[in-house]
Every structure is written in structure tokens, then in C-alpha cells.
Amino acid sequence: MRVVPVGCVNSAMGKGYTIKTLADVPDILGDYPGEMQFFTPELGNEQVALTYRRMPQHTGGKGSYGHFHRRQEEVYFVISGKLQFKLGDEVVEARKGTAVRVAPEVVRSVWNEGPEDAELLIVSTRIDDPRGDIEQVAGFWPA
């Protein structure tokens, strides 16, 4: 067995895999509370998009906008905590260990009402222009 440092990319050696940790992936949220980290570019994924999100209490889309996609189906997997998902006209609660599949055309938003942080993974197909696939819907989830 050969042990390599975390963050090492071995595809150049013909191994066909990449290993990254949260520390290797930039947070795109800036000053907004929590983290959102797109693993896809850091891993060099060809087919699958993977995003990590940590949501402190009272963060997410409630009182703000929702979004839908032109082509991307998404699966949200709740790693920890409890989240509310607004999917079209319905609001559903998802606890740790729950997976929520959302078709591209469904307007959605996620909110953490709970007192503790919630963590989730978002999995979808990888596309070249993910921001170009999103349409925002203003006023989707009134506070």
C-alpha cells in the first residue's frame, strides 16, 4: 500500500482519480453565513457535479428568491441537521439522512429554521455553464 498526501492528484500517473478535502475547495459565499463549496472544478469531474453546503440557523432562500434549472436535475442529501425545502407550492422538512430529488423545472429553495447548523450535499449532472442553466424566481418564498 502506498500512502499519498490528501489533495494529491494522481490522474497524471494513470490512476484516474482525484482526492480533495473541504480545505482544498474555496467557499463561494463570501460574507454570507455558512459555506458553499463546488467540488466539481477542483476534482476535475467529467460527468457529476458535487457541492457541499453548510447552513447556519436562519439561512437560505426564505424571504428571498428561488431557482430552477433548464437542464439539471438535482439531488440534495442532508448530512446533518434539519432543513425545509420549498418545492413549487409545497414546503417539506428533510432531516439527517434524507435525499430529495428535484427535477429541473421545479422551482426550489432551501431554508434552515433549526437552532443548529445543517449540512447537505448537492449532486447533479456536470454541465459546462452551471450558472447559465439557472433561472432565479424573485419573491418565491415570502418570509
Express each pLDDT in 26-46 by its tens digit.
Answer: 999 999 999 999 999 999 999
| 16 lies in some domain | no
Whether 11 has a pLDDT exceeding 70, the answer reads no
For the segment 57-69, the average pLDDT, to the nearest whole number, is 95
87-105: average pLDDT: 98
Residue type (1 letter), 92: V
Confidence of residue 131 (pLDDT cuts 50, 70, 90): confident
Domain total of the chain: 1
| CATH code of 42's domain | 2.60.120.10
Residue 11 lies in a domain: no
Q: Which regions of 34-102 does DSSP assign to beta strands (E)?
A: 35-38, 48-55, 59-60, 64-69, 74-80, 82-87, 90-95, 99-102
Nearest to 76 by CA among 117, 21, 118, 47: 118
CA distances from 128 to 76, 108, 132 (A): 20, 22, 9
For residue 43, tell me if it sits in a domain. Answer: yes
Which pTM was predicted?
Answer: 0.89
In a domain, 112, yes or no: yes
| pLDDT value, residue 86 | 98
Mean pLDDT of all residues belonging to the chain: 92
Which amino acid does the sequence have at 4?
V
> What gap in Å lies between CA 4 and CA 7, rounded to an integer?
9
Confidence category of residue 16, pLDDT binned at 50, 70, 90? confident
Flag whether 64 is in a domain: yes
The CA–CA distances, whole Å, from 89 to 2, 69, 142 equal: 52, 17, 12
State the pLDDT at residue 66.
96
| Domain around 56 | 22-141
Instruction: Give a yes or no: residue 61 inside a domain.
Output: yes
pLDDT at 4 over 80: no
Residue 44 domain-assigned (yes or no): yes
- Mean pLDDT throughout 117-132? 94
